Structure 1
Amino acid sequence: MLGGFTGYLGETIKDSASWQAMLRAYESGAVIAGSSAGAMVMCQYYYDPGKGNVVEGLNLLPNTCVLPHHDTFGKNWASRLSNLLPEAVLLGIDEQTGMLDDGSEGRKVGWRVYGKGAVTLYHHGKPTVYHSGESFNEDFSPAHQ
């Protein structure tokens, strides 16, 4: 899913036939990817900068909230969102950077960072940075925090 207007994207895709088709494909092994607003709405929560509030997302990644463009303006949301979502994992993703699930089953989900920048995970407001080429294990469900 492409970026753009976060609130509009989240409102129009949720409960749509298109989203249901994407979920069926995902459950059959397809990849769902998102950039900027597209990555934001896939999480359980997303920040709508147009309205300045946190909204329930599509929940493909439970207990998460993406901070896109983390190396430019997204990092400025970290403190506020850590307070609003104290139990959620915030995923700060730099521009020209991504994280991919390595597809391994039978363990915590393994993620790898790709691109020019880094991915910063915030647990209870505390950042941990993973650079391009680094991997990390993370189960985003609340029971594992």
Structure 2
Amino acid sequence: MYKYLFHGKNIKELSFFRVDGDHMEDYFGNLIIIGGAEDKADKCEILKEVVKKTSSKGGPLIVLTAATEYPEEVGALYKKTFNRLHLHDIKIIDIKDRHDANKVEFCKEIESSGCVFFTGGDQLKITSLIGGTGLYESLKQAYRNGTLIVGTSAGASCVCSTMVVSGKDDDSPRKVALKMAPGLDIIRGVLIDQHFAQRGRIGRLLGGVAQNPESLGIGIDENTAIVVEGSSVFRVIGSGAVTVIDGSLITHTNISELLPQETLAITDIKIHILPRGYKYDMRNRVPIPKRENKEDKNEDS
């Protein structure tokens, strides 16, 4: 059983470690978290990154279609797209119920995979079908062993310990603007929202951070992703931006005093807008401008 420790004098210095006996290791594994509507027909920048990392790890790419109402169509689309990008070892797993999520053959496939790809749809379907099952344990084991975990749209939200489930888009921050539920606990200390700029979701993510100031809010635009590579630093790829909301230094919020429809007050909250090429250190809560990166290549050319 893993235990989690916090290190640091204040919330800005928090760092996450897993403890297994006397062994300590960084919490962060290999993740690509996509804001949805990733390009599947043109440059395919994000999916090419998925292919590159899956090929490097070895093993099949598993497309988990549990979130969608159209598993056959969605699975076929991703298989066709990845085949066109020269990745051919693709397996589609459609979890229809919790019995499926405890099938030994599915668990073994997850454990031997190079990548597990969660499609879009409804994040509650993912967690309610998979949480606490054999497949969930296999997913965590695969992640610890270096398997790349990818989530797009609903699949992006579900990787957190606490996930954004629903909320009113394009409105002033309000107490009722956000509903949250337990996620898959693959990455801790963050709240992730997707389709961020396109659906005007900054208000609801601000509400989430006001309720959980220790959690870092990460809003990811469509056709945009964060790439986590075994450390607390993520880098941004894709055509949009990533909005990071840091509530660790909030000096006042009325969140606990509000009636459901009242407007939220927050003071001294920090917001960063990060396009392609920028990085962010989630442990130290520090943005890393593009000019300070060694990998300063623009994919637009």
Q: Is the aligned partner of 1:58 residue 2:184?
A: yes
Partner of residue 100 from structure 1, selected from 224, 227, 232: 227
Task: Indicate the residue corresponding to 1:17 in structure 2.
Answer: 134
Q: Is the aligned partner of 1:83 residue 2:210?
A: yes
Q: Is the aligned partner of 1:111 residue 2:267?
A: no
Count of paired positions: 136
Q: How high is the TM-score relative to the length of structure 1?
A: 0.84
Q: Is the aligned partner of 1:70 residue 2:196?
A: yes
Task: Indicate the residue corresponding to 2:262 in structure 1.
Answer: none
* Deviation, structure 1 residue 103: 3.2
Give ranges in structure 2 of 5+ residues lacking alignment.
1-117, 168-177, 248-268, 285-301
Provide the identity percentage: 26
Task: Kindly provide the CA deviation profile for residues 108-131 of structure 1, in whole angstroms up to 9, marking residues without a partner as x.
Answer: x22110000111111114211111
Separation in structure 1 between the aligned mates of residue 217 and residue 196 of structure 2, nearest angstrom: 11
Task: Kindly provide the CA deviation profile for residues 43-98 of structure 1, in whole angstroms up to 9, marking residues without a partner as x.
Answer: 01112117x52112111111111110111123241222122222211110010000
Give the 3-state SS of the residue equivalent to 2:191 in structure 1. strand
Partner of residue 134 from structure 1, selected from 271, 274, 278: 278
Q: How high is the TM-score relative to the length of structure 2?
A: 0.42
Given residue 181 of structure 2, which amino acid in structure 1 is its aligned partner? V
Task: Indicate the residue corresponding to 1:44 in structure 2.
Answer: 161
Give ranges in structure 1 of 5+ residues lacking alignment.
141-145
Aligned in 2, Cα 1:87/1:103: closer, same or farther, shift over 3 Å? closer
Task: Indicate the residue corresponding to 1:143 in structure 2.
Answer: none
* Deviation, structure 1 residue 102: 2.9
Give the 3-state SS of the residue equivalent to 1:98 in structure 2. strand
Given residue 112 of structure 1, which amino acid in structure 2 is its aligned partner? R
- The answer to whether the 8 A contact 2:233-2:282 is kept is yes
Task: Indicate the residue corresponding to 1:31 in structure 2.
Answer: 148
Separation in structure 2 between the aligned mates of residue 101 and residue 48 of structure 1, nearest angstrom: 23
Given residue 47 of structure 1, which amino acid in structure 2 is its aligned partner? V
- The answer to whether the 8 A contact 2:206-2:245 is kept is no
